[in-house]
Every structure is written in structure tokens, then in C-alpha cells.
Structure 1
Amino acid sequence: MKKINFKLINTLLLLLIIFLVWIMRGLWLGVVSRICAIILPFLIGFVLAYILNPLLKFLIRKGIPKKIALSIIFVSILLFITIFLWVLIPSILPMMFNQTQALFVTINDFIRDISVKFDLNLMGLSKSIEMIATDITGDLSKMVSQGFINFISSSLNFVAHLLIVIIATIYFLFDMDNIRDRFEKFLKRLKNKKTFKYFETLDDAIHKYINAFCLFALIIFIEYTLVFYIIGHPYFLLLGILAGFGTFIPYFGGIILGIIAIITASVISPQLLIFSVIVALIFPNIDGYFTAPKIYAKSNKVPALLSVFAVFAGGMIAGFIGIVIALPVTIIILTTLRFYDEEIDSGIEHLKKKIDD
């Protein structure tokens, strides 16, 4: 009697499972997307609570009771949102709409001038820019014409999710110490001191990164808004906002901002063009060699090439959300690799010996 080849049977079963999962992907992808949609507001709430927890602890250390400190944080956030929606948005949005519209018109005029001067066919590029401009200015126009508050309130789904996020954030922030204590007790029950130390190191690395990044983005936004306002650039606010968001894309964010500033200045006046070129050449270097190192000195250092790759990969995989989480995920991976460096090396050596044998 022939022996049953269990390896072959297991392989065939695995292939059958993969095939069934593949043909039923429409069903399980729908279920997974629904589950993700349900979990996402709570996950965002937990992340926000995790970010705000050091601020809560700081207020408590100053002698403010926990409930009052929590109230101060959320009253401040609500006041900021209220001022942003009811005071700043009605004046800023129309200006942003006009600046964005004029910005794309200027870029298109520049492309047409280049096409005529150098006899180049850049119609495809021009049409692509027009399509992007139509989409962006269309959304902004809708906000301006309907009013930002009406625009938000018309989206009941958005409001419902926002309320869930706020409630989840309040709950998680109030109970964050208990959550951390329970997690610590769970790790201690594992009786593995290295695992406990790893999560402590990871927690410290993430907090340092978040603090440094938020401070850097704020400094960059204020810096470029003021600089472009001082040199008389008509799109100073839009360029300042782009500079702040550009910190999500290391190195390329500053380059893209400089190109946009120079192109728009080139069709306004020679003087503004010279000033914009000076800003584009000097300030990114100041930020790269002085501001960023000072702010990120105590943070987890990520190699430049790895930062660019992480942001690019994140954008390709998950769009804007992928870009936002790319560097935090990279820091988690780097911290893990650095912490378990010896174990990884010994594991590789053990694997090599097995292969040689």
C-alpha cells in the first residue's frame, strides 16, 4: 500500500482555500470594508486620545484635576473649531477659492507661453491641469456659494462619524491610564521583560515623533505664510497651507512648493519672481539643515531615502491616508528592527546554518 503524501494534500488544500477566497473576494471585501468603516471612527478616536494624553498629563502635573483638565482640552478644541468654522472660514474660503482659481490659470498661461516660445505640444498637460483645477475649484465654489456650515451639515454621514470620533476620543482620553495599565499588566503576565521594554521604547518613539512633527508643520506654515506675505506674493495663504501639508512629503513637498511659487510669480512681475526664487532656494535649506534637525533632534531619525520611499509607497497603497501614516509606520518598523537587532541577526545565522546543513 502506497504511503499518503500529506505534503501534497496540504498544498492542494491550501491552493483550494486561496482559490475560494479569490472567487469570493467580492463578498468578503464588502464585509471587510463594512467592518473597517465601523471600526475607523473608534480607531481615529483612540489615536487622537493617544496624541492628546501627554497634554492631559501635563495639565494634571500642574495641579489641575483630571476632569477639569479634560474639560479645558475639549473646550479649547471646540472653541478652535467654532472660530475656524464661523469666523475664519467665511473670509478665508472665498480668498482661497480666488487664489486657487488664479493659481491654476497662471500655471496654464505659463505652459501655453512655453508651448509657443519653444514650439512644444503641451496640450495634454494643459488639459490635465484644467481638469484638476475644475475639480478643486468646483468643491471650493460649492463651499463658498452654499456656506461652509451648510456644506458640512448637508453631509449627515460626515457629522455622524465626527460625533462618534469626538465621543470615542473623550472616552479613550478619560480612560487612557486604565487602558495603559491593563496593557502593562497583560505584558507583565507574559513574563517577558524584553517585550515590555519594547513597547515602552515604541511608545516613547511615537510620542517624540508626533510632538516633533506637529511643531515642525506649524512652524513651516507660519514661516512660509509670513515670508510670501512679506515679499508680496498674492497666493501667500495658499502657499503657506501647501507648505504645512508639504511636511507630510519630506523633501519633495518643499520642492513642489518652490516650483508653484516660482511659476506663479513669473507671470506676475520680475521682482516677485526674483524674491520667490530666493525663498525657494534659501528657506528649504534653512528648514532642512537647521529647523528640522533642531526639532527632530530627540525624535526617531529616519534616513532620507527611506522617508521618500515610505511616503511614495504609502500614497500608492492607500492614497492620502497612506501618505499621512507612512512615516509613523516606518518609525514603528525601524524601532522594532533596532530593538530586536540581536535576535534578528542570531535568527539569520541560525537559518544560514540550517541551509548549509
Structure 2
Amino acid sequence: MITSKTISNGILRALATILITGVLLYFLYEIQTVIVYLCISLILCLIANPLVQFLKNKLKFGNSLAASTTILFFILMMVGFILLFVPLIISQANNLSLLDTNHLQQQFVETEKSIETYFNIQHVDLNKVLKESKITSMFDFSYFTRFINSIMGFMADMGMGLVSVFFITFFFIKDQDTFKDQARRVLPDTNEDKILNSITKINHLLTRYFVGLLLQLTVVFILYLIVLIIFGNKNAFVIAFLCAILNVIPYVGPIIGTTLAGILTMISLIGKDFQSEILPTTIYVIIGFLVVQAIDNNISQPIISSKSVNSHPLEIFLVILISGITFGIVGMIIAIPVFTMLKVILKEFFPNNKIVSVLTERI
């Protein structure tokens, strides 16, 4: 029989649950930087796993030595990147006037005038077309400044973050077997094997995915760079770098990158004849980027997205599309890793379910 005391106790428990949940969410919000460090360290640990296994199995390194060697490898890679590439990126960014919004806008206006002059010669009223479409009002010229300045600010404040990430990553690598043993003690006995098997499979699949993704971005960057160098773009490195980073966003990123490459190529050629140099060079660059994307979409991406996480390309496309509609750009970026984790967990806990068995038959 339900009494007033039972109802009041239920209300109190519900309020307590809401209060505890709110406090927990607030606490997580306050330590979001630490959570980011943990996530980055986990990703680095996954990426480093093949190297760690090679050091342990082939070279017979101990846990501490393997972890130290791996961290040293990451540090050397980072220092090499800074020494080789960052000065080049900064100098080319200055050449491209990405740090000067007014100069960038002035160059864009000059480019627009060149286009308008060309189309007037061809008897097309471009000014009327632009006013009716309101294209110019859609451009935010301060975006480039904010983007570059945010990168510079991040690099200036990342010292403590790097120390924290490398420190956490070291212990993730060194004590991963210990963490697994401790997890066995904490986890319920009935689900212990399932959870540990899920973690092992997720670690294996995501390691393949992140390593493959880095390889894919490197290949795309090199191909973009070759296209820009062929057509004499003086800002080839920074444009190729930015467009390759945008490739992290599935499907949408390459489109944005190609558009950005076209605009920046036109701006970098200000002062030259529009009809004989600016327009043909921009068209050739865009065609070259489209060819690179065709290569990436038909060769690199299927291998990375499908084979590395053992999913069908159509399955991957639908998951990314749904995630993009639901959660935007961030959802598209994390769609494949999260979907892979869910598939592994579902297979371990519901192996006899017909729908789950169909979705996870490749795992």
C-alpha cells in the first residue's frame, strides 16, 4: 500500500538524485581541462600502442623503458615539427595576410573588382548578381584572424598542457596491464570478461583508426602541396596544411578546403592579370584539389574508415550523416570512433540479438 511516507521518500530520493547529478555535471564542467588532457592522453596511448608492442615484443623492453622511449619519440616528433614547419607556417601566414583582417579584406575587394571587370567584359552584370545573392555579406573576414590568433594563443598556453598530457600518457602506457588488473577487481564478476574483451577490441580498432587517419591526412597534405607547387602558389605549404586539417571533417571538410584553397589562391595572386593568370590558376588548383579528393575518397578513406574499424562504407556514410544532422561538425568528427565503440559493446553483451549480429558480423 502506497502511503504518504512512501511518496515523500520517493520525492526526496528523486531530488537527491537530481542534486547529485547536477553537482557531478558541474564538477565535470569545472575540470573539463583535465578531461581534455585525459582524452588526448588516451588517444596518444592508442596511437602509440603499435610502437609499444614492437618495443616490448621485438626488442624486449620493459614497461617503463617502452613508455619512456615512446614519450621521447613523441617529444622528438613535436620538436621536429616545430623546428621544420611552424616557422614556415607563420611566415606564409604573414605573406597571406591572415593576421591582418583589413589587408585581407582589401585584397578580397581587389579580387572582387578584378572578377567584376572580367565579367563586365563578358557582358555579365556581376554587381547586380552579387547584390541579389548577398554573397559578400556572408563573408566574415575576421574569421581568418580569429582562427590564426586562436592557434597562436593555444600554442602559447600549451606548455603546462603538454607536460600534463605526456605525464598522463607515460603512466597510461607503462601501467596499462596494472589498470586492467585493477579493473578486474572493481568490475562485477558476471560482466568482467565482457567488459575487458570490449576494452581490448576497442583499443585495437581505434588504434588502427587513429594511425590510419594520421596517414590519410599526411597523404592528402602531400598531394595538396604538390598541386599548389605545380601551379606556383607561394603560400602552398600553409594552404595545403589548413586544407588537410579540414579533411578531418568527413565529406564536408574537403568541400570547405577546396573553396578555401580557391579563395586564398585568388587573393595570393592579386596584382596579376585576372583573365590570363588569376582565373586559370584558380580553376587548375580547384581541379587539382578535386582530383586529390577523388583519390582520397576512393582509395584512402575506404581503407581508413571501413577496413580499420571493420564497417561497410555505406554504414559509415549513414552514421556520419546522422551524427552531422544531430550534433553538427563535432558529431561528424567523433561519429566513427563512437560508433565503433558501441558496436563492440553491443556484440559483447548482446551477441545473440539478430540485429546486433548483422551489424557486428565484421568485428
Q: 1:56 aligns with which of 37, 42, 52?
A: 52
- Following the alignment from structure 2 to structure 1, what is the Cα–Cα distance between the partners of residues 226 and 35? 40
Q: 1:271 aligns with which of 270, 280, 284?
A: 280
SS of residue matched to 1:303: helix
Question: Could you list the per-position Cα deviations for residues 14-40 of structure 1 after superposition, in whole angstroms to 9, with x for gaps in the alignment?
Answer: 77558x749x96x76543322333454
Which residue number corresponds to residue 3 of structure 2? Answer: 4
Q: 1:152 to 1:246 in 2, by over 3 A?
A: closer
Alignment check: 8 A CA contact 1:49 1:176 kept: no
- Following the alignment from structure 2 to structure 1, what is the Cα–Cα distance between the partners of residues 284 and 104? 18
Which residue number corresponds to residue 71 of structure 2? Answer: 74
Shift of 1:234: 3.5
* Percentage of pairs with the same residue: 22
Q: 1:173 to 1:346 in 2, by over 3 A?
A: closer
In structure 1, what residue type is equivalent to 2:162? L
Q: 2:296 aligns with which of 281, 287, 290?
A: 287
Alignment check: 8 A CA contact 1:100 1:238 kept: no
Which residue number corresponds to residue 253 of structure 2? Answer: 253
Matches within 5 A, 1:109-258: 116-120=127-131, 125-126=136-137, 128-138=139-149, 143=152, 152=155, 155=157, 158-183=158-183, 189-190=189-190, 193-258=193-258
Alignment check: 8 A CA contact 2:93 2:238 kept: yes
Which residue number corresponds to residue 318 of structure 2? Answer: 305
Alignment check: 8 A CA contact 1:314 1:326 kept: no
- Following the alignment from structure 2 to structure 1, what is the Cα–Cα distance between the partners of residues 355 and 254? 41
Alignment check: 8 A CA contact 2:68 2:170 kept: no
Q: 1:105 to 1:291 in 2, by over 3 A?
A: farther
Which residue number corresponds to residue 29 of structure 2? Answer: 33
Alignment check: 8 A CA contact 1:208 1:298 kept: no
Q: 1:247 to 1:135 in 2, by over 3 A?
A: closer
SS of residue matched to 1:129: coil
Normalised by the length of structure 1, the TM-score is 0.73
Alignment check: 8 A CA contact 1:51 1:207 kept: yes
Normalised by the length of structure 2, the TM-score is 0.72
SS of residue matched to 1:120: helix
Shift of 1:272: 0.9
Task: Using CA pairs under 8 Å that are at least 6 residues apart, name the structure with larger relative contact order, 1 or 2.
Answer: 2
In structure 1, what residue type is equivalent to 2:292? F
Which residue number corresponds to residue 350 of structure 1? Answer: none
Shift of 1:137: 4.9
Alignment check: 8 A CA contact 2:227 2:289 kept: no
Aligned length: 328
- Following the alignment from structure 1 to structure 2, what is the Cα–Cα distance between the partners of residues 122 and 137? 29
Which residue number corresponds to residue 354 of structure 1? Answer: none
Matched, 1:332 2:332: no
Unaligned runs of 5+ in 1: 348-357
SS of residue matched to 1:204: helix
SS of residue matched to 1:250: coil
SS of residue matched to 2:141: helix
